Amino acid sequence: MSLLENIHAFWKRFADEESALLEALNTGSYEKLSEILEALNSEVFAISGAHFFVEDRAQEPEMTFDTGPDKTSQLICRKMKQLAPKSIADRWIINDTLAPLSQKAIEASLQIKDHVYSLFDMTAFYTIDSVNHSFIVKVYCPGFSLIDNPEYKREMSIYLVELAIGEKELEAYVSSVDFVNEPEEGVSFCNLTELYEVIADTVEKENWKTYAHPLDIYTVFKPHQDFASDSLRKDMKIIFTVHPPLIEESLGSKGDVTLDLKDKDGEYGYIYYANPFDTENDARFRQALSSQIETILAPLHCANVIGGAIGKSYSYIDLILYDENLFKKAFAQIQSQLKNKVDLHYRSFHQEA
């Protein structure tokens, strides 16, 4: 089975369960609802590494693939949303990452000693970094002073902020999250449930760059190494990617990210070719070629471009493959179509690890 086939199998399973799921929502049959969701969540987790839940709202049904910051999960779940059958997509709101203040957030609770706290009991103290277009956030919970483990409080604060503002805003606009045991003096603050509105208002007022999805956020790498090398992936001068952990791993000759996707029946790889110009025109050529290849691949759903690099000798177009066999057929056609323009090759990141 390919990852693409696994995704289609999930939607078939969901379609089979949809009537019972909607009925359970309509009638408030939470035992039945829990049974259905447990099975669907297990399947989603096996396919993507994400969790799956639905809002308790029968009249306007809404489902969420809760990926967290994991880029492999985000890439798979975005493809799952794209491949949702029209009958389901027309009826359901589908979130392929965690949205701000979901039902999961509203119902979230943190028990400390004998007290239970919700997001409404917590305060966000924040500083706006206008230069870097980001927020520095510290979370105050009245019970934090009763917890000795600072790392636990820090991790819990990140999770609580993610629940409050959603994955996209967390990645796009929050540079750091920490905790405070006591309220801070002289620092802007709001209820944690209001932080999303504060960020959204600031982004609009200050005209910061906006993003539709966490995977619209590109990171640029400039490797510190000797560029006398002409060898593959060793000659890179600048790298741009939606998946920083993949690039960090490849530069360090590790393989956890690539193996994780392999376990999910997908593959990370790259198209490469010898630079045709040895000038700044190489960058323009690579960008145009990347867009052309993405346009060809997109309707096939077998692969997507996730970044690339310019090297001393070669240029690269990085990909996630959802179906290796379909991609190979498409790539053979792309090679043939462009053979008079450029000589293209493909290699798996797994071969680098």
Q: Which residues contact 272 (CB under 8 A, 6 or more apart)?
A: 232, 314, 315, 316, 317, 344, 345, 346, 347
Per-residue confidence of the chain (353 residues) as pLDDT tens digits?
Answer: 999 999 999 999 999 999 999 999 999 999 999 999 999 999 999 999 999 999 988 889 999 999 999 999 999 999 999 999 999 999 999 999 999 999 889 999 999 988 999 999 999 999 999 999 999 999 999 999 999 999 999 999 999 999 999 999 999 999 999 999 999 999 999 999 999 999 999 999 999 999 999 999 999 998 866 555 678 898 999 999 999 999 999 888 778 999 999 999 999 999 999 999 878 899 999 999 999 999 999 999 999 999 999 999 999 999 999 999 999 999 999 999 999 999 999 999 987 64
- pLDDT at position 228 is 54
- pLDDT at position 19 is 96
Q: Distance (Å, rounded) from C-alpha 251 to C-alpha 65?
A: 30
| Greatest distance between any 2 Cα atoms in the chain | 72
Burial of residue 19, with CB atoms counted within 10 A of its CB: 0-12 exposed, 13-18 middle, 19 or more buried: exposed
- pLDDT at position 59 is 86
Q: Three-state DSSP class for 129?
A: strand
C-beta separation of 242 from 218 below 8 A: yes
Domain with CATH 3.30.70 in the chain: 218-351
CA distances from 133 to 156, 170, 211, 302 (A): 24, 12, 13, 35
- pLDDT at position 353 is 47
- pLDDT at position 10 is 98
- pLDDT at position 226 is 58
The secondary structure of 197-237 as a DSSP string is HHHHHHHHHHT----SSGGG--EEE---S-TT--STTTSEE
The runs of H, that is alpha helices, within the chain are 3-27, 30-48, 71-82, 86-91, 103-107, 150-165, 167-173, 195-206, 244-251, 256-263, 281-297, 324-338
Q: Distance (Å, rounded) from C-alpha 186 to C-alpha 184?
A: 7
Torsions phi, psi for 183 (to 5 deg)? -55, 140
- pLDDT at position 252 is 83
- pLDDT at position 231 is 82
Q: CATH: 1.20.1440, 3.40.30, 3.30.70, 3.30.1380. Which one for 218-351?
A: 3.30.70
